Amino acid sequence: MNTFEEIIAAVQQYQRFIILSHIRPDGDAIGSTIALGSTLETMGKDVIYVNEDGVPESLAFLPGSDKVKQASGEVKDIEVAIAVDCANKPRLGENALKMATNAKLWINIDHHKSNPGYGDLNYIDSDSPATGQILYQMITEQGLTLTDEARDSIYVAVSTDTGSFQYSGTTAATYEMAADLVKRGLNTGKINEQTYDSFPYRRVALTRELLNTLELSSSGEIADWQLLRKVKEDLDLQPDDSENLIDMIRAIDGVNVALFFEELMDDSIRVSIRSKMGSIDACEIAQVFGGGGHAKAAGIRMPGPISEARKSVISEVTKHLS
């Protein structure tokens, strides 16, 4: 792994950058993109912000989110590509990768334990609860300018990836970072309301539909629900409408593993895995099916139909639990 010093020294040598994050971006992906791009701009760099799927509706309130464009596939005149919060290169998306074709240097900054280190320079800290926290450390330790855009985006990045500072990966450094951001002018009441209390009605309707599919294993240790493509079409759902809903069934007393099976438009199945402290390693389960992530939160993309995917994953989870 490279150091912050090595990464910033490399950045100083170039002018034109593109920043990318994973498909179906969450708060950490978009927040990290904005925070790093804003910092590079204070260094006088030219920055293209891009994501394969663009900015989710739920994160459009973030200052600077308008800079993040949906990937067009058009090759850009850039020198350096920086991937943030993305466990492997293909998850950056086909069009986004095409835009970065001319990159002379790849920098990979992430916190997923399954990240193989696909950059020329890599900073991967799987003990960090969010990529946003890594960027905060880099910006402050290297004496770079932390803009108001970066301040707000880092807070949302870390807050959303820690369950609002609840998950076990949250460290003393996380709380110290949050305190420093408040000292720098962060309006916690406003930004928490925008992040957690501004959902569209269709998200509530989706919750109702998901609860109707909820199943509990005979042991009571596994809870799962399924989202069919027809429901997504009927409710006119956006990709981020289901973000973090799995925490509802993960919180059931006695449940150690929660599973969310989603039928995608190409008939493949997206599986989200959440496990509780002291239970199984969710990343190990995901890797059996070609996925990855964190010890307590991981994901898979696998062939359908959803009934077969569900059967296979639950069988694997059951083996690990036993």
In a shared domain, residues 80 and 185:
yes
Any idea which residue has 């949250």 for tokens? 170
Please check whether residues 191 and 83 belong to one and the same domain.
yes
Closest to 243 measured CA to CA, from 220, 223, 281, 270: 270
Q: End of a domain among 142, 173, 196? A: 196
**DSSP one-letter code for 42:** H
Least confident range from 167-171, 249-253, 310-314: namely 167-171
**pLDDT value of position 63:** 97
Whichever domain contains 187, its CATH number is: 3.90.1640.10
| 115-169 pLDDT, tens digit each | 999 999 999 999 999 999 999 999 999 999 999 999 999 999 999 999 999 888 8
Query: Does 182 share its domain with 224?
Result: no
Q: Are residues 304 and 259 in the same domain?
A: yes
pLDDT over 90 at 77, yes or no: yes
Last residue of a domain, one of 196, 219, 251: 196
The string of pLDDT tens digits covering residues 272-301 is 999 997 779 999 999 999 999 888 999 999
The confidence band for 82, taking pLDDT boundaries of 50, 70 and 90, is: very high
Residue entry with tokens 């909820």? 214
Which pLDDT tens digit goes with each residue over 86-108?
A: 999 999 999 999 999 999 999 99
Contacts 24+ apart (CB under 8 A), 244-253: 244/160, 244/163, 245/203, 245/206, 245/207, 245/210, 246/272, 246/274, 247/163, 247/274, 248/207, 249/214, 249/223, 249/224, 249/225, 250/223, 250/274, 250/276, 252/216, 252/223
Residues 166 and 223 both lie in one domain:
no
- Judge if 189 and 51 occupy the same domain: yes
pLDDT of 109 > 80? The answer is: yes
Residue ending a domain, among 171, 196, 221, is: 196
Residues 41 and 157 in one domain: yes
The reply to whether 217 and 285 lie within a common domain is: yes
| Model pLDDT, residue 279 | 79
CATH of residue 238's domain is 3.10.310.30
> What's residue 239's pLDDT?
87
173 & 310 share domain: no
122 and 91 in one domain? yes
In total, how many domains does the chain have?
2
- Whether 89 and 214 map to the same domain: the answer is no
Digit-coded pLDDT (tens) for 183-192 = 999 999 999 9
- Residue 194 is predicted with a pLDDT of 97
pLDDT class of 217 with cuts at 50, 70, 90: very high
Identify whether residues 155 and 233 lie together within a single domain.
Answer: no
Q: Residue 67 is part of which domain span?
A: 4-196
